[in-house]
């Protein structure tokens, strides 16, 4: 029977400049199917976003069932190791390797099948509070192949590091690979991976509602206006409110950042 879900409630973003460091913070919390979780956005910006760093210490088959999320936007970025996944209407199961990502459009049925030892993923969900429902009727992979299908206006997007092309980024001194998520979500969100090329990036401010960054590799010093400088290393994360000046300094040659923005398009202003 057709179930009519209530419309998704998206709370207004409570803007704050916040840094969450891997070394300082609370221990990993045990979640479903033996997964370990770290919360990357301390107060979830008033419930508007949840960002989790998830680790599965012991690899092998994952005891997952076909399920879906009633959500506005959801990203899975594979940070370390690999995970085997399958999605409704997207063909056979596949491996998401380190550096690859997918978006799970609203209510797409999917299942995690297998993981490598010590796989780590970064998962973003908007809003923070969303329902997960088991689908007892659907078997995956299913026999329909429809990669262009839209789920609440969004398409399934799979981005692979091996196919990436690098272009200049919104902050001078960096280049980035675009994931195609802006187009796949029709502008709801964008996801980019940026890496440092050289020079001294100028301070900037932005006009995005939500701007989340996770340090994938390397080190940098983040300074927010009126704040003490903060040295960041892999596993650290931060959110920057709109129209708030930050600078990225002392960037190591191997610095790599995962940046998620909602909406997908916004302005960046260099501050002299």
pLDDT per residue, tens digit, the chain (272 aa), is 444 455 567 789 999 999 999 988 667 898 876 789 999 998 899 999 999 999 999 999 998 999 999 999 999 999 999 999 999 999 999 999 999 999 999 999 999 999 999 999 999 999 999 999 999 999 999 999 999 999 999 999 999 999 999 999 999 999 999 999 999 999 999 999 999 999 999 999 999 999 999 999 999 999 999 999 999 999 999 999 999 999 999 999 999 999 999 999 999 999 98
pLDDT of residue 258: 99
pLDDT of residue 24: 81
- Tell me which CATH homologous superfamily contains domain 18-160: Jelly Rolls (2.60.120.10)
Quick check: do 18-160 and 163-270 share a fold? yes
pLDDT of residue 2: 41
Question: What are the DSSP E strand ranges found in 197-233?
Answer: 204-206, 210-217, 220-224, 230-232
Q: Tokens in use for 180? A: 């195609």
pLDDT of residue 4: 46
pLDDT of residue 34: 75
Q: What is the end-to-end Cα distance of the chain in Å, rounded?
A: 59
Q: Specify the pTM.
A: 0.95
pLDDT of residue 7: 55
Domain ranges across the chain: 18-160, 163-270
- Tell me which CATH homologous superfamily contains domain 163-270: Jelly Rolls (2.60.120.10)
89-92: Cβ within 8 A, 24+ apart = 89/142, 89/144, 89/145, 89/146, 89/147, 89/149, 89/156, 90/141, 90/145, 90/147, 90/156, 90/158, 91/141, 91/145, 91/147, 92/141
pLDDT of residue 42: 81
Label residue 136 exposed, middle or buried (CB < 10 Å: 0-12, 13-18, 19+).
exposed
């Amino acid at each position: 029977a057709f179930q009519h879900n209530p419309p998704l409630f998206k709370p207004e973003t409570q803007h704050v400049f916040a840094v969450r460091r891997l070394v300082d913070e609370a221990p990993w919390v045990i979640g479903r199917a033996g997964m370990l979780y770290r919360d990357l956005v301390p107060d979830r910006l008033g419930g508007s976003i949840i960002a989790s760093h998830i680790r599965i210490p012991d690899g092998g088959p994952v005891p997952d069932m076909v399920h879906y999320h009633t959500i506005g936007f959801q990203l899975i970025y594979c940070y370390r190791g690999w995970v085997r996944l399958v999605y409704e209407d997207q063909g056979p199961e596949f491996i998401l390797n380190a550096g690859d990502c997918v978006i799970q459009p609203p209510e797409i049925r999917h299942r995690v099948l297998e993981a490598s030892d010590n796989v780590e993923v970064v998962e973003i969900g908007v809003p923070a509070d969303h329902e997960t429902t088991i689908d007892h009727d659907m078997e995956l992979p299913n026999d329909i192949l429809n990669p262009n299908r839209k789920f609440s206006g969004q398409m399934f997007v799979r981005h692979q590091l091996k196919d990436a092309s690098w272009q200049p980024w919104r902050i001078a001194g960096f280049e980035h690979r675009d994931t195609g998520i802006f187009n796949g979500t029709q502008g709801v969100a964008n996801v980019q991976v940026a890496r440092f090329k050289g020079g001294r990036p100028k301070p900037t401010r932005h006009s995005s509602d939500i701007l989340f960054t996770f340090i994938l590799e390397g080190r940098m010093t983040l300074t927010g206006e009126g704040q003490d400088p903060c040295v960041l290393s892999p596993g650290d994360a931060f959110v920057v409110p709109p129209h708030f000046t930050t600078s990225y300094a002392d960037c190591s040659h191997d610095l790599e950042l995962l940046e998620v923005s909602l909406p997908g398009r916004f302005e960046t202003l260099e501050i002299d």
